[in-house]
Amino acid sequence: MTAREQLREWLLESRKAVFFGGAGVSTESGIPDFRSKNGIYRTISKYGVPPEQILSHTYFVHYPETFYEYYRENLIYPDAEPNAAHKGLVYWEKAGHLKAVVTQNIDGLHQKAGSTNVYELHGSVLRNYCLKCRRKYGLEIITETKGVPVCPHCGGQIRPDVVLYEEGLDDKVITGSVKAIEHADLLIVGGTSLAVYPAAGLIRYFRGSHLVLVNRDETPYDRNADLVIHENIGEVFAEISHD
């Protein structure tokens, strides 16, 4: 039995599977991982600082113009479409085997594909709000404006509903993610190096039968997994998601 066949068999046996994913899930939709070396080098050469600094709370407060220039260029991909990984997860949810998706991504592609129970650890670019009156806005308030976006109702500054560096994760999202993982009988971790905390630490709550890691590169948790697949996650789900 191949590794892909084993994963499919475990999914068929599962009734409470959970998927935990990272940037690698969306790279096949044309959304680059800004943590890659090339992305970091390009950012430093243009802005003089790494992405993590630009996307920090401190930088957002003190240099909002530069923050939004970088944000629009590197984090928003309104034309991106779900790939085989996103669609495969929807297949397993509709079949009654997958109960939740926990994602570190902020692109909203899981919901666009059709997943209904998604915990977005780092928020979403699709949601924005006014810091002054708290009025909520969609992505257009960012894409259809230039410079620092302001609320047309009160003039307050708009900010994305994403978790910046130096900020804590949302308590409700964390609680929901932990409960889903705790009750899962199968945990599939895909497209993530498991290097970003506290998100990566969530898999420690898993007490189920099988831990599966699907990632092109090795991760610190490979030795703890019941099954490791070093392949593109979209290709894996394209093969295993069928009747």
Tokens of 214: 């699907």
CA 51, CA 75: separation in Å to the nearest integer? 11
Do the Cβ atoms of 23 and 35 come closer than 8 Å?
yes
CA 105, CA 108: separation in Å to the nearest integer? 8
Active-site annotation holds for 122: yes
What torsion, rounded to 10 degrees, do the Cα atoms 173, 177, 111, 133 define?
Answer: 0
Bridge partner list, 186: 17, 210
Q: Which helix (H) or strand (E) holds 123?
A: strand 123-130
Q: Which of 62, 122, 183, 230 is catalytic?
A: 122
**Burial status of residue 62 (CB atoms within 10 A of its CB: 0-12, 13-18, 19 or more):** exposed
- Cα 121 to Cα 64, 89, 97, 101, 178: the distances in Å are 23, 18, 22, 10, 11
Do the Cβ atoms of 187 and 20 come closer than 8 Å?
yes
**Which residues are identified as catalytic?**
122
